[in-house]
Amino acid sequence: MLVLIKENSHQMSLEGALQVATQIKLKPDSVIGFATGSTPLDMYKELIRMHKDEGLDFSKIVSFNLDEYVGLHPTHPESYHYFMWENLFKHININPTNVHIPMGMADNISEFCNWYEQKINSYGGIDLQILGIGANGHIAFNEPGSSLGSRTRIKTLGQKTRLDNSRFFNEIDEVPQYAITMGVGTIMEAKKLLLLASGLNKADAIKATVEGPIMAKYPATIVQYHRYATIIIDKEAASQLEGEYIDSSL
């Protein structure tokens, strides 16, 4: 696991974008796993800039998103479909038929989840999976206590996650109670992981993820087992770490 500590969250985003761009340049038809939330927003802006100014070509990539709220229509402004199109996809030259985002309105959710897993496999798996982390140590919507071998499925969102995400809704009661999420096992099969975190409210989760024991209480801790996991964090998110890590100036 490579831990890169950057001066601030903007530097974290630039480094993240550089790593995604490198992956796409090396393999133009890369399968990229995307995350939503506040953390990758600035990185997505930089990827859009790279597309517009430098011609970074997304036309052959295939995308799979980590998760989606159950019950929100893709046109709902808080759906992750809407988020991805507004904040990235509509600004780049991705082929819409290559975009995959869990369908929160699926009639048969478990059938949909099996289809999603098969679809990922049909492309040979995910080359690079972008991850954020919840303050409670979740990755995607794999809440504390999630099985570390879990696959794409429906999950009940914990109160902490609903509270954290209520900032995007009018009130907490509007935050859906369920989500479809890739499993921890699904995420671990990606060939590379890129986990981003910034801010003091992520410091405990990062401490557990990088230096704590591996446990279902903090699903993100499993990334310690991944052979090609890169953790890019800012100084605030790194503030609880005790180990020696690569200097942000390197």
Catalytic residue positions, numbered: 67, 136, 138, 143
Residue 67 CB, nearest distance to ligand F6R (Å)? 5
Residue 126 CB, nearest distance to ligand F6R (Å)? 14
Residue 41 CB, nearest distance to ligand F6R (Å)? 8
When the beta carbons of 55 and 167 are compared against ligand F6R, the nearer one is: 167
137: left (phi over 0), alpha (psi -120 to 50) or beta: left
Nearest residue to the partner ligand F6R, using Cβ: 132
Token pair 């690079």 in the structure block, residue: 128
Residue 136 CB, nearest distance to ligand F6R (Å)? 9
Contact residues for ligand F6R, defined by CB under 6 A: 35-39, 66-67, 132-134, 138-140
Check if the beta carbon of residue 231 is closer than 8 Å to that of residue 131: no
When the beta carbons of 20 and 140 are compared against ligand F6R, the nearer one is: 140
Helix runs in the chain, H state only = 9-26, 41-54, 80-87, 109-122, 159-165, 184-188, 203-211
The amino acid that residue 37 corresponds to is G
Cβ within 8 Å of residue 163, ≥6 positions away: 172
At 99, give phi and psi (nearest 5°). -90, 130
Crossing angle for the helix pair 9-26 and 41-54, to the nearest 10 degrees: 50
When the beta carbons of 67 and 234 are compared against ligand F6R, the nearer one is: 67
